Amino acid sequence: MLTKIHHIGIVVRSLDEAYAFYRDALSLPVHKEAVIQDQGVRAALLTIGESEIELLEPITPGTGVARFLAQRGEGLHHLCFETDDVSQELETAKQRGVRLIDQQPRAGLAGMICFLHPKSNHGVLIEYAQP
């Protein structure tokens, strides 16, 4: 079962520059930062109440996040829902005919994650995360 909005993903040109607004101006604490090589990003999670904002800086050309930045510029990238069982949620989505990006969950900054294709979700990239 989906339990809450875990985070909203935002693509930025530079994490360091984005911190000036999200961390410094809004006073949101950074509680995790990492390079995720297989996604080609440097990412950070900032806490806001019981949810988070994920900032994504592409570091590898040609990856999905790098292409997003080149085509659309900085901005909202995805919406992530938290679940206690990401494998089951992915299987349920598949059974309901939702187009998937990931066929199996994988490790990500927010725990075990998977993505649903935006063409099945009215243009919104959806992520499921099991922290």
Domain with residue 99: its CATH number is 3.10.180.10
d(CA 51, CA 118): 22
- Strand-pair partners of 106: 113
d(CA 131, CA 117): 21
- Strand-pair partners of 111: 108
pLDDT reported for residue 67: 97
- Strand-pair partners of 130: 112
d(CA 59, CA 10): 15
Condensed to tens digits (0 to 9), the pLDDT of residues 90-116 reads 999 999 999 999 999 999 999 999 999
Q: For 22, how many CA atoms within 13 A lie in the half-sphere containing its CB?
A: 25
Structural domains counted in the chain: 1
Q: Which of 7, 8, 1 is nearest to 75 (CA)?
A: 8
Condensed to tens digits (0 to 9), the pLDDT of residues 14-43 reads 999 999 999 999 999 999 999 999 999 999
Range of the domain at 60: 2-130
pLDDT reported for residue 26: 98
